[in-house]
Structure 1
């Protein structure tokens, strides 16, 4: 589904900004510092080099095609979640058609006990990295012990020479209950708001792009806190239909955990700036289950320990921008 935000048509160059949860992109090698034993040849999932390469191939093909219905060229920026390390992202960028594109990536190891992190893949031709850092997300569980969750990746750069600030997220899960864990995701929202407030001390009207798997829907308290506290626009709000449309499924209902939010500075047509044109879920038929009770849902790599051979348990999302030259 494609949601246009401006009636004005433009023949100017478009740029795709995407996000994709890669569903446990681990290499098959054992790392004693993280909980990755299941994703080894002798682990519960029997994760072999062959299966790993097959997943890389599927993901690479998908990433370069996100947004193809609106724009025939590969995305300029791609935020990802659930990448184990630099090695898997380097392998991904050297797989299939991705190796023929001028992609680079940014990744930092986070304290997540499973070792799955966020990353930003970018086209060097269009995006110039000026600064990057992980923002520590300090949340405690009910016992007062710190949760070792994912950092928030912050990248400052120039998209076609326009200064932008990008945040890539994978917020704390709902594993212990959505209500019980809600406060953790609200803390994540406030952490980003604090960072944006510091940016605004130096820039009057900064360009902000916040993407990720938020483990909350657009209507959730955490996303509303982020949207209102940072004065953002969320084009994903109208895409979510719990009965039939979203990016992942749980308990028979569609969730819209994967989103791209932007600052209101992108809702303009000023010269030499980018304007938000549209937003969509990239639910290509190749990414869907083809039959059975789960027909139409994301074609997963695993269901529990059962290998399905699919792509991910999430659909990618994207926002389309137009550069006003």
Structure 2
């Protein structure tokens, strides 16, 4: 008998902004008359490319597009509607969960799901309270929690985009440790209601699998990180100069290793780093084919590769 297989993915879309000015956010770089010249044509090109990439994640293993895709760096509902209506996703039964976050740049996380295999029960967001040295609030992305039913089984999915390393890895590390603490609090809250809850924590953590924030999160909450083996000197999800990082990860509760009949268990984890997503020439050959490098338009997909896991029905 053929087993049912489901892809669960995460993808940082690199600044998926619409072309309209939102006075409440700092989106001025992504307007038709900005230095970056973010025109409707460029916007539509990015939507088409992202839709093509998303529709193919895990397809080789499962024969289907992903059941669940966590996203980072989406501006609003409009870009999600446009993405799902783009050429390669328009005929797929996708819907999404999204809340506007207080992030200063106006970029949020979201969850796309296949309505034929996943039913949303509850969704909510949790703010991460971070303060700068002067006591002012450092607004960052909320953590999105979606509880639903995947293949007749309850699962909890958390989508994250932790504070960046922009001002230096060590200086910004306490912010990511706070985000990890918040995720731990949410997990403990879930477990007080259901000790055996199946939990998936995905996101762009801006830290690698062996960073303190990820290690503490795993150890304190009985999580497994299958992404730890995917980072090497010539492999990762994002590259800065010559160094690879694997900031994009999917962790899960260890009960996904249980092989109970009719329940979902973990099968494999992988990077989705197909050649079409890569820079194909020059000094950065093999790195993600980006939409922009600084203010220069390149016309690629994203500065991150997606990651995914396959779950199988026992």
Instruction: Please give the TM-score of this superposition, normalised by the length of structure 2.
Output: 0.99
Q: CA deviation at 1:229?
A: 1.2
- 1:1-325 residue pairs with structure 2 within 5 A? 11-241=2-232, 243-324=233-314
SS of residue matched to 1:198: helix
Root-mean-square deviation (CA), in Å?
A: 0.9
Q: Give ranges in structure 1 of 5+ residues lacking alignment.
A: 1-9
Deviations 1:249-308 (A, max 9, x none): 013100000000010110011012111000000000000001011000000000000000
Displacement of 1:123: 0.5
**1-side partners of 2:261 and 2:143: how far apart?**
31
Give the whole-Å Cα distance in 2 for the aligned partners of 1:142 and 1:311. 36
Q: Give the secondary-structure state (helix, strand or coil) at the position aligned to 2:282.
A: coil
The 3-state SS of whatever aligns with 1:165 is strand
The runs of at least 4 consecutive aligned structure 1 residues that moved more than 6 Å come to: none
Contact 2:59 2:66 survives alignment (8 Å): no
Give unpaired runs (5+ residues) of structure 2. none
Deviates more, 1:195-204 or 1:279-288: 195-204
Partner Cα separation in structure 1 for residue 70 and residue 247 of structure 2: 14
- Offset, 1:143: 2.0
Cα shift at 1:37:
0.7
Equivalent pairs counted in the alignment come to 314
CA offsets, 1:212-271, max 9 Å, x none?
100000000000111111110000001111x21100001310000000001011001101
Q: Specify the alignment match of 1:4 in structure 2.
A: none
